[in-house]
A and B are shown apart, each in its own frame.
Chain A
Amino acid sequence: AQSVTQLDSQVPVFEEAPVELRCNYSSSVSVYLFWYVQYPNQGLQLLLKYLSGSTLVKGINGFEAEFNKSQTSFHLRKPSVHISDTAEYFCAVSDPSVGTALIFGKGTTLSVSS
């Protein structure tokens, strides 16, 4: 069965600092990978996705993620964060051959302060 591990439950950073949110998955097959963001009291918004092709994926709001098959990782990065990036970030995986729903990690709370 697929699973997703987000290694950090909370990541505090200062404004304009770089940030990396870590995500590892376990799957024996090819997967699709996603990062979603959830702002307080809102639903989830897709940040970026990896389906195939280039392992470096660029998303919205200046975020990017790199798919590393050998390390089964899909870490999310941003070179300079803003206060408005404060939110919860979820990594998710799906198996394209089966077509079932996404499996989510437990989330990482990014707190950006000035």
Chain B
Amino acid sequence: NAGVMQNPRHLVRRRGQEARLRCSPMKGHSHVYWYRQLPEEGLKFMVYLQKENIIDESGMPKERFSAEFPKEGPSILRIQQVVRGDSAAYFCASSPDRATSGANVLTFGAGSRLTVL
């Protein structure tokens, strides 16, 4: 029973390149959340998705960042034209359908650490 799987675990990009981070939720989970962790800042919510729908993207930067959760395959967080300030740990979490769980209990992946040179 695999947990939330994120890959790559580590990604190095040069300024101006694109970064793609993938997240496969736990089996049976249909909700995916992306968070960004910067040193000494805790976790900042970025986006909340269900299959083929973005539910809440209030934490996403207005430019260069996008996320999707297609009908088939993992959720992808895409960062275009990366800058040094994008260097951070990006965590994905998933939860069961809220109607059955009754609470947004999130299960987190191990994270993807992006370094921009």
Total contacts A-B at CB 8 Å:
64
Q: Which residue of B6, B98, B106 is within 8 Å of A99 (Cβ)?
A: B98
Q: Which residue of B43, B93, B103 is within 8 Å of A49 (Cβ)?
A: B103
- For chain A residues 93-114, which have a beta carbon within 8 Å of chain B? 94, 96, 99-107
**Chain A interface residues (CB < 8 Å from chain B):** 9, 32, 34, 36, 41-46, 49, 51, 90, 94, 96, 99-107
Q: Which residue of B56, B102, B103, B110 is within 8 Å of A42 (Cβ)?
A: B110
User: Contact between A45 and B108 (Cβ–Cβ < 8 Å)?
Assistant: yes
14 pairs across A/B with beta carbons < 8 Å?
A: A43-B110, A45-B108, A51-B103, A96-B103, A100-B56, A101-B104, A102-B33, A102-B104, A104-B35, A104-B42, A104-B43, A104-B45, A106-B40, A107-B43
Q: How far is the CB of B40 from chain A (nearest CB, A)?
A: 7
User: Contact between A46 and B110 (Cβ–Cβ < 8 Å)?
Assistant: no
Known A-B contacts A44-B91, A101-B45; A51 and B108 likewise in contact (beta carbons under 8 Å): no
